[in-house]
Amino acid sequence: MLKTPPPETFPPETLSLGELVPKNRLVRKIGAAIDFEFIRELVAPLYFACLSILSR
């Protein structure tokens, strides 16, 4: 019997969002000038509250 050939497969590629943003974008300049790490501490309780609601 004739079989159809298996579909051609391609190796997986990794890509980061940082690679997609041009080097001279305003967002990069703002990120270099302002430290946004304080936001993690502010929103951490919100993530915990959300996860506890979802696990019910």
Residue 55, number of CB atoms within 10 A of its CB = 6
2 part of a folded domain: no
Residue 49 pLDDT grade (very low, low, confident, very high; cuts 50, 70, 90): low
3 part of a folded domain: no
**Into how many domains does the chain fold?**
1
32 part of a folded domain: yes
35 part of a folded domain: yes
18 part of a folded domain: no
48 part of a folded domain: yes
The whole-angstrom separation of Cα 14 and Cα 12 is 7
Q: Distance from first CA to last CA of the chain, Å, rounded?
A: 54
Output the pTM of the full model: 0.44
46 part of a folded domain: yes
Encode pLDDT of 6-35 as tens digits.
Answer: 888 888 889 898 888 899 999 889 989 999
4 part of a folded domain: no
